[in-house]
Amino acid sequence: MSKKIGSTKNPASGATAARWRAEVESACERKGLALTPLRQQVLTILAESSAPLGAYAIIDQLSRKEGKPVAPPTVYRTLDFFLENGFLYKIESRNAYAPCEHLGHAHHGALLLCEKCGRSDEIEDVKLDRLLQEAAARAGFAPHRQMVELVGLCRDCAG
C-alpha cells in the first residue's frame, strides 16, 4: 500500500498510547538505546497528550511533576533523541512534537493539521514522496528533511 494515514489527535488514546509507548520501548531495546528516566517521562507525556506539544509545554509538565524547574536544554536533547530515531515528528509551523505512527524510518509525506482542534494526521505516500524528490532534483535541490504541512479542518471539525 502506498498511502498510510496515522492520527495524532492522540495515537495515544487508551490502548493506542500504551501500544505506541511499548513499540518505542521495544525499538530502543532492539537498537541498544537507553531510555533514561527523563526520556521515559517525556515519552509518557507525549503518549498521553491529546494533541502535539511544544517543548515548553513538556517542560512545564515535567517541572510540575518534579516540583522543581527542568532545564530546557535537557528536554530539547531528549526530543532530538526521539526525532533522530524516528519516534516523533516535529510540526515546524507549530514548533510542536507528536508521536509518529510509522516508527523506524525517515518521515516523508504530509501532515494534515486541523486549525480548530489541533489534530494532526500523518500521511505516508510513496508517490507523493517520489514526486517531491523528483521536483527537488529538477531544481538542483538536495533536501535534508521533508515534511509538507496542510492546514485546514479535520473530518470531525469540518462536519
Task: Measure the CA dihedral 68/71/77/79, to 10°.
Answer: 60
Rounded to an integer, what distance in angstroms lies between the CA atom of residue 16 and that of residue 25? Answer: 14
Predicted pLDDT of residue 9: 43
Query: What percentage of the chain reaches a pLDDT higher than 90?
Result: 48
Strands 148-152 and 3-7: unpaired
Q: For the chain, which domains are there?
A: 3-158 (1.10.10.10)
pLDDT tens by residue, 62-88: 999 999 999 999 999 999 999 989 898
Whole-prediction pTM: 0.77
Predicted pLDDT of residue 107: 57
Predicted pLDDT of residue 15: 56
Rounded to an integer, what distance in angstroms lies between the CA atom of residue 65 and that of residue 6? Answer: 29
Cα 129 versus chain centre, distance: 18
**Sites in the chain below the pLDDT cut of 50:** 1-13
Predicted pLDDT of residue 29: 94
State the first-to-last Cα distance of the chain, in angstroms, to the nearest integer: 28
How would you label 93-131 residue by residue, b for 16+ Cβ within 10 Å and e otherwise? ebebbbbbbbeeeebbbbbbbbeeebbbbbbbbeebbee
Predicted pLDDT of residue 105: 58
Yes or no: say if 39 and 78 are a contact pair by the CB < 8 Å rule: yes
Predicted pLDDT of residue 4: 38
Predicted pLDDT of residue 51: 83
Helix (H) or strand (E) holding 155: helix 155-158
pLDDT tens by residue, 1-15: 333 334 444 444 455
Predicted pLDDT of residue 128: 87
Rounded to an integer, what distance in angstroms lies between the CA atom of residue 128 and that of residue 54? Answer: 27
